[in-house]
Amino acid sequence: MYRGRFAPSPTGPLHFGSLVAAVCSWLDARAHEGEWLVRIEDVDEPRCRPHWGGEILRTLERLGLHWDGPVVWQSRRKEAYRAALERLRRAGLAYPCACTRREAAGRYSGRCRNGLPEGAAARAWRFPVPPGRVGFHDRWQGWFEQDVEEEAGDFILLRADGCFAYQLAVVVDDAGQGVTHVVRGADLLDSTPRQILLQQALGLSQPLYLHHPVAVDGAGRKLSKQNRAPALDPSRDCENLRAALALLGLPPPAEADGAALLSWAVARWRERWTAGAQPAAPSFSASPGPKDCSAR
Protein backbone atom coordinates (compact mmCIF):
# COMPACT_ATOMS: atom_id res chain seq x y z
CA MET A 1 0.00 0.00 0.00
CA TYR A 2 1.33 3.39 -1.02
CA ARG A 3 1.39 6.06 1.67
CA GLY A 4 2.78 9.51 0.91
CA ARG A 5 2.82 12.78 2.77
CA PHE A 6 3.19 16.53 2.55
CA ALA A 7 5.10 18.01 5.47
CA PRO A 8 5.05 21.81 5.48
CA SER A 9 6.67 23.89 8.22
CA PRO A 10 4.22 26.53 9.50
CA THR A 11 6.66 29.43 9.39
CA GLY A 12 4.38 31.34 7.02
CA PRO A 13 1.53 30.83 4.56
CA LEU A 14 1.72 28.40 1.65
CA HIS A 15 3.74 30.00 -1.16
CA PHE A 16 4.36 28.86 -4.71
CA GLY A 17 7.45 26.81 -3.75
CA SER A 18 5.56 24.78 -1.14
CA LEU A 19 2.56 24.49 -3.48
CA VAL A 20 4.79 22.58 -5.92
CA ALA A 21 5.74 20.12 -3.15
CA ALA A 22 2.09 19.73 -2.16
CA VAL A 23 0.92 19.15 -5.74
CA CYS A 24 3.74 16.75 -6.55
CA SER A 25 3.26 14.58 -3.45
CA TRP A 26 -0.53 14.64 -3.86
CA LEU A 27 -0.31 13.64 -7.54
CA ASP A 28 2.09 10.78 -6.86
CA ALA A 29 -0.16 9.44 -4.09
CA ARG A 30 -3.35 9.73 -6.14
CA ALA A 31 -1.71 8.24 -9.25
CA HIS A 32 -0.72 5.22 -7.15
CA GLU A 33 -4.19 5.09 -5.61
CA GLY A 34 -2.46 5.57 -2.30
CA GLU A 35 -3.01 7.67 0.78
CA TRP A 36 -1.77 11.23 1.14
CA LEU A 37 -1.11 12.41 4.68
CA VAL A 38 -0.41 15.92 5.88
CA ARG A 39 2.01 16.53 8.73
CA ILE A 40 2.57 20.01 10.09
CA GLU A 41 6.28 20.19 10.87
CA ASP A 42 6.26 22.61 13.77
CA VAL A 43 9.13 20.92 15.60
CA ASP A 44 11.15 24.15 15.42
CA GLU A 45 8.77 25.91 17.77
CA PRO A 46 10.55 29.27 17.94
CA ARG A 47 10.17 29.64 14.15
CA CYS A 48 6.66 28.20 13.78
CA ARG A 49 3.20 29.63 14.50
CA PRO A 50 0.15 27.36 14.94
CA HIS A 51 -2.07 29.76 12.99
CA TRP A 52 0.11 29.28 9.90
CA GLY A 53 -0.55 25.54 10.18
CA GLY A 54 -4.30 26.18 10.10
CA GLU A 55 -3.88 28.61 7.23
CA ILE A 56 -1.86 26.09 5.17
CA LEU A 57 -4.56 23.43 5.73
CA ARG A 58 -7.30 25.82 4.59
CA THR A 59 -5.32 26.68 1.47
CA LEU A 60 -4.85 22.99 0.60
CA GLU A 61 -8.60 22.44 0.95
CA ARG A 62 -9.40 25.46 -1.19
CA LEU A 63 -7.08 24.12 -3.91
CA GLY A 64 -8.80 20.72 -3.89
CA LEU A 65 -5.80 18.92 -2.39
CA HIS A 66 -7.69 16.80 0.15
CA TRP A 67 -5.75 14.62 2.56
CA ASP A 68 -6.42 11.29 4.25
CA GLY A 69 -6.63 10.68 7.98
CA PRO A 70 -5.88 13.05 10.82
CA VAL A 71 -3.27 15.79 10.45
CA VAL A 72 -0.19 15.15 12.60
CA TRP A 73 1.50 18.08 14.39
CA GLN A 74 5.13 17.52 15.32
CA SER A 75 4.80 19.71 18.41
CA ARG A 76 2.64 16.91 19.88
CA ARG A 77 5.11 14.14 19.06
CA LYS A 78 7.95 14.98 21.43
CA GLU A 79 7.61 11.71 23.37
CA ALA A 80 8.30 9.71 20.21
CA TYR A 81 11.39 11.83 19.43
CA ARG A 82 12.60 11.49 23.01
CA ALA A 83 12.22 7.70 22.85
CA ALA A 84 14.16 7.55 19.58
CA LEU A 85 16.97 9.67 21.03
CA GLU A 86 17.07 7.41 24.06
CA ARG A 87 17.38 4.34 21.82
CA LEU A 88 20.25 5.94 19.94
CA ARG A 89 21.90 6.97 23.17
CA ARG A 90 21.73 3.44 24.58
CA ALA A 91 23.22 2.07 21.40
CA GLY A 92 26.10 4.56 21.64
CA LEU A 93 24.74 6.42 18.62
CA ALA A 94 24.13 9.81 20.25
CA TYR A 95 26.53 11.90 22.26
CA PRO A 96 26.24 15.14 24.24
CA CYS A 97 27.91 18.23 22.86
CA ALA A 98 28.95 21.32 24.78
CA CYS A 99 29.91 23.48 21.80
CA THR A 100 28.18 26.80 21.32
CA ARG A 101 26.62 27.61 18.00
CA ARG A 102 29.66 29.68 17.14
CA GLU A 103 32.11 26.92 18.00
CA ALA A 104 30.12 24.43 15.95
CA ALA A 105 29.47 26.66 12.92
CA GLY A 106 29.73 24.93 9.54
CA ARG A 107 30.65 21.28 9.37
CA TYR A 108 31.06 20.04 12.94
CA SER A 109 34.60 19.00 13.85
CA GLY A 110 33.54 16.19 16.18
CA ARG A 111 35.16 17.95 19.13
CA CYS A 112 32.85 16.44 21.79
CA ARG A 113 32.60 13.00 20.18
CA ASN A 114 35.01 11.43 22.65
CA GLY A 115 33.65 13.16 25.73
CA LEU A 116 32.78 16.61 26.95
CA PRO A 117 35.66 18.94 27.73
CA GLU A 118 36.52 19.15 31.44
CA GLY A 119 33.78 21.00 33.37
CA ALA A 120 31.62 21.61 30.28
CA ALA A 121 27.87 20.94 30.35
CA ALA A 122 25.93 19.23 27.57
CA ARG A 123 24.01 21.68 25.42
CA ALA A 124 22.91 19.48 22.54
CA TRP A 125 22.99 15.88 21.32
CA ARG A 126 24.64 14.74 18.11
CA PHE A 127 24.77 11.67 15.90
CA PRO A 128 28.25 10.18 15.33
CA VAL A 129 28.37 9.81 11.55
CA PRO A 130 30.21 6.68 10.39
CA PRO A 131 32.83 6.99 7.64
CA GLY A 132 31.89 6.08 4.05
CA ARG A 133 29.40 7.21 1.43
CA VAL A 134 25.63 6.89 1.72
CA GLY A 135 23.71 6.58 -1.54
CA PHE A 136 20.20 5.95 -2.74
CA HIS A 137 18.21 5.89 -5.95
CA ASP A 138 16.00 8.94 -6.32
CA ARG A 139 13.03 8.45 -8.62
CA TRP A 140 13.51 11.85 -10.27
CA GLN A 141 17.20 12.68 -9.75
CA GLY A 142 18.66 9.19 -10.22
CA TRP A 143 21.53 7.90 -8.09
CA PHE A 144 22.66 10.30 -5.36
CA GLU A 145 25.37 9.74 -2.82
CA GLN A 146 27.19 11.70 -0.20
CA ASP A 147 30.05 11.39 2.25
CA VAL A 148 28.01 12.56 5.22
CA GLU A 149 30.99 12.70 7.56
CA GLU A 150 32.79 15.04 5.21
CA GLU A 151 29.85 17.15 4.05
CA ALA A 152 27.70 17.45 7.18
CA GLY A 153 29.73 15.96 10.02
CA ASP A 154 28.13 14.74 13.24
CA PHE A 155 24.73 16.38 13.05
CA ILE A 156 22.35 17.59 15.75
CA LEU A 157 19.57 15.39 17.13
CA LEU A 158 18.46 17.60 20.03
CA ARG A 159 19.27 21.30 19.92
CA ALA A 160 20.60 23.41 22.78
CA ASP A 161 17.20 25.16 23.00
CA GLY A 162 15.47 21.83 23.68
CA CYS A 163 13.93 21.41 20.19
CA PHE A 164 14.40 18.09 18.46
CA ALA A 165 16.13 18.44 15.11
CA TYR A 166 14.25 18.15 11.81
CA GLN A 167 16.43 15.17 10.74
CA LEU A 168 15.37 13.08 13.74
CA ALA A 169 11.73 14.17 13.78
CA VAL A 170 11.18 13.50 10.07
CA VAL A 171 12.64 9.99 10.27
CA VAL A 172 10.63 9.07 13.37
CA ASP A 173 7.41 10.45 11.86
CA ASP A 174 7.80 8.97 8.39
CA ALA A 175 8.28 5.57 10.02
CA GLY A 176 5.57 6.14 12.66
CA GLN A 177 3.05 7.08 9.98
CA GLY A 178 4.04 4.17 7.72
CA VAL A 179 5.12 6.46 4.88
CA THR A 180 6.31 4.40 1.90
CA HIS A 181 7.04 7.24 -0.55
CA VAL A 182 8.63 10.58 0.29
CA VAL A 183 8.05 13.22 -2.40
CA ARG A 184 9.58 16.67 -1.73
CA GLY A 185 11.75 19.40 -3.20
CA ALA A 186 15.30 18.83 -4.41
CA ASP A 187 16.51 21.34 -1.83
CA LEU A 188 16.17 18.45 0.66
CA LEU A 189 18.15 15.96 -1.45
CA ASP A 190 21.28 16.41 0.63
CA SER A 191 19.36 15.80 3.88
CA THR A 192 18.32 12.35 2.72
CA PRO A 193 21.64 10.55 3.39
CA ARG A 194 21.50 11.79 7.01
CA GLN A 195 17.94 10.49 7.26
CA ILE A 196 18.98 7.14 5.82
CA LEU A 197 21.74 6.87 8.45
CA LEU A 198 19.16 7.50 11.18
CA GLN A 199 16.74 4.97 9.67
CA GLN A 200 19.51 2.38 9.73
CA ALA A 201 20.55 3.27 13.27
CA LEU A 202 16.96 2.98 14.50
CA GLY A 203 16.18 -0.17 12.47
CA LEU A 204 13.45 1.61 10.44
CA SER A 205 12.58 0.83 6.86
CA GLN A 206 13.66 3.23 4.13
CA PRO A 207 10.93 4.83 2.04
CA LEU A 208 11.34 5.45 -1.69
CA TYR A 209 12.33 9.03 -2.51
CA LEU A 210 11.44 11.48 -5.24
CA HIS A 211 12.97 14.97 -5.08
CA HIS A 212 11.31 17.28 -7.61
CA PRO A 213 12.81 20.48 -9.08
CA VAL A 214 12.13 23.53 -6.94
CA ALA A 215 10.68 26.88 -7.92
CA VAL A 216 13.18 29.74 -8.04
CA ASP A 217 12.76 33.50 -8.10
CA GLY A 218 14.08 35.88 -10.78
CA ALA A 219 17.55 35.77 -9.20
CA GLY A 220 17.63 31.95 -9.27
CA ARG A 221 17.10 31.60 -5.50
CA LYS A 222 14.77 28.90 -4.16
CA LEU A 223 11.38 30.38 -3.30
CA SER A 224 11.12 30.24 0.46
CA LYS A 225 9.72 32.17 3.36
CA GLN A 226 13.24 33.40 4.15
CA ASN A 227 13.38 34.91 0.66
CA ARG A 228 9.96 36.45 1.31
CA ALA A 229 8.05 34.35 -1.20
CA PRO A 230 4.53 35.82 -1.26
CA ALA A 231 1.47 33.93 -0.03
CA LEU A 232 -0.65 32.39 -2.78
CA ASP A 233 -3.26 34.83 -4.05
CA PRO A 234 -6.66 33.08 -3.69
CA SER A 235 -7.92 34.75 -6.85
CA ARG A 236 -5.15 33.01 -8.83
CA ASP A 237 -5.53 29.41 -7.61
CA CYS A 238 -6.04 28.03 -11.06
CA GLU A 239 -3.06 29.86 -12.57
CA ASN A 240 -0.88 28.78 -9.67
CA LEU A 241 -1.90 25.13 -10.01
CA ARG A 242 -1.24 25.28 -13.75
CA ALA A 243 2.19 26.83 -13.14
CA ALA A 244 3.04 24.18 -10.50
CA LEU A 245 2.07 21.41 -12.94
CA ALA A 246 4.16 23.00 -15.69
CA LEU A 247 7.18 23.10 -13.38
CA LEU A 248 6.66 19.38 -12.76
CA GLY A 249 6.78 18.72 -16.48
CA LEU A 250 3.00 18.57 -17.03
CA PRO A 251 1.98 21.83 -18.73
CA PRO A 252 -1.82 21.55 -18.86
CA PRO A 253 -3.70 22.17 -22.10
CA ALA A 254 -5.97 25.23 -22.04
CA GLU A 255 -9.12 23.11 -21.93
CA ALA A 256 -8.05 21.29 -18.74
CA ASP A 257 -9.59 23.65 -16.28
CA GLY A 258 -11.74 23.84 -13.20
CA ALA A 259 -12.30 20.55 -11.41
CA ALA A 260 -10.89 18.67 -14.39
CA LEU A 261 -7.40 20.09 -14.01
CA LEU A 262 -6.33 17.86 -11.13
CA SER A 263 -7.87 14.70 -12.59
CA TRP A 264 -6.14 15.44 -15.90
CA ALA A 265 -2.85 15.77 -14.00
CA VAL A 266 -3.34 12.52 -12.05
CA ALA A 267 -3.90 10.62 -15.29
CA ARG A 268 -0.79 12.11 -16.90
CA TRP A 269 1.30 11.50 -13.79
CA ARG A 270 0.13 7.90 -13.69
CA GLU A 271 1.24 7.37 -17.28
CA ARG A 272 4.62 8.79 -16.56
CA TRP A 273 5.47 7.64 -13.07
CA THR A 274 3.77 4.44 -12.03
CA ALA A 275 5.15 1.06 -12.93
CA GLY A 276 1.87 -0.55 -13.99
CA ALA A 277 0.72 2.60 -15.79
CA GLN A 278 -2.82 2.26 -17.05
CA PRO A 279 -3.79 3.52 -20.48
CA ALA A 280 -4.86 7.16 -20.24
CA ALA A 281 -7.81 7.59 -17.91
CA PRO A 282 -10.70 9.77 -19.07
CA SER A 283 -9.15 13.20 -19.29
CA PHE A 284 -11.82 15.46 -17.94
CA SER A 285 -13.84 13.49 -15.43
CA ALA A 286 -15.18 15.65 -12.65
CA SER A 287 -13.61 15.37 -9.22
CA PRO A 288 -13.63 17.69 -6.25
CA GLY A 289 -11.23 20.32 -7.53
CA PRO A 290 -10.16 23.81 -6.65
CA LYS A 291 -13.10 26.06 -6.03
CA ASP A 292 -13.66 28.98 -8.41
CA CYS A 293 -11.19 27.50 -10.83
CA SER A 294 -13.41 27.91 -13.85
CA ALA A 295 -14.44 31.44 -12.92
CA ARG A 296 -11.25 32.99 -14.23
Measure the CA–CA gap between 255 and 30, rounded to whole angstroms: 21
φ, ψ at 174 (rounded to 5°): -60, -40
In angstroms, the first-to-last Cα distance of the chain is: 38
Coil, helix or strand at residue 18: helix
Nearer to ligand GLU, 20 or 238 (CB): 20
Work out whether 170 is an interface residue with ligand GLU (CB under 6 A). yes
Nearer to ligand GLU, 37 or 238 (CB): 37
Non-local CB neighbours of 241 within 8 Å, separated by 6+ positions: 19, 23, 63, 261, 262, 290, 293
Q: Site size for ligand GLU, by CB under 6 A?
A: 7
Nearer to ligand GLU, 97 or 169 (CB): 169
Nearer to ligand GLU, 19 or 112 (CB): 19
User: In this chain, which stretch among 3-11, 51-59, 84-92, 239-247 interacts with ligand GLU, using CB under 6 A?
Assistant: 3-11
Site for ligand GLU in 174-193 (CB under 6 A): 184, 188
In the list 28, 35, 41, 154, the residue contacting ligand GLU (rule: CB under 6 A) is: 41
CB of 284 to ligand GLU, least distance (A): 31
Work out whether 204 is an interface residue with ligand GLU (CB under 6 A). no
Nearer to ligand GLU, 170 or 267 (CB): 170
Q: Are 32 and 2 in contact (CB under 8 A)?
A: yes
In the list 4, 8, 258, 290, the residue contacting ligand GLU (rule: CB under 6 A) is: 8
**To the nearest 10°, the Cα dihedral for 162, 184, 197, 226?**
-40
User: In this chain, which stretch among 5-13, 62-70, 261-269, 271-279 interacts with ligand GLU, using CB under 6 A?
Assistant: 5-13
User: In this chain, which stretch among 1-9, 48-56, 93-101, 154-162 interacts with ligand GLU, using CB under 6 A?
Assistant: 1-9
User: In this chain, which stretch among 7-15, 50-58, 105-113, 238-246 interacts with ligand GLU, using CB under 6 A?
Assistant: 7-15
| Vertex 74: Cα angle to 177 and 55 (nearest 5) | 105
In the list 4, 9, 29, 94, the residue contacting ligand GLU (rule: CB under 6 A) is: 9
Measure the CA–CA gap between 161 and 77, rounded to whole angstroms: 17
CB of 5 to ligand GLU, least distance (A): 7
Q: Are strands 35-40 and 3-6 parallel, antiparallel or unpaired?
A: parallel
User: In this chain, which stretch among 2-10, 27-35, 144-152, 284-292 interacts with ligand GLU, using CB under 6 A?
Assistant: 2-10
Nearer to ligand GLU, 19 or 124 (CB): 19
Pick from 11, 18, 36, 24: nearest CA to 210? 24
| Vertex 20: Cα angle to 61 and 144 (nearest 5) | 135
Measure the CA–CA gap between 49 and 255, rounded to whole angstroms: 39
Pick from 147, 127, 263: nearest CA to 199? 127
Q: Residues in the site for ligand GLU, rule: CB under 6 A?
A: 7-9, 41, 170, 184, 188
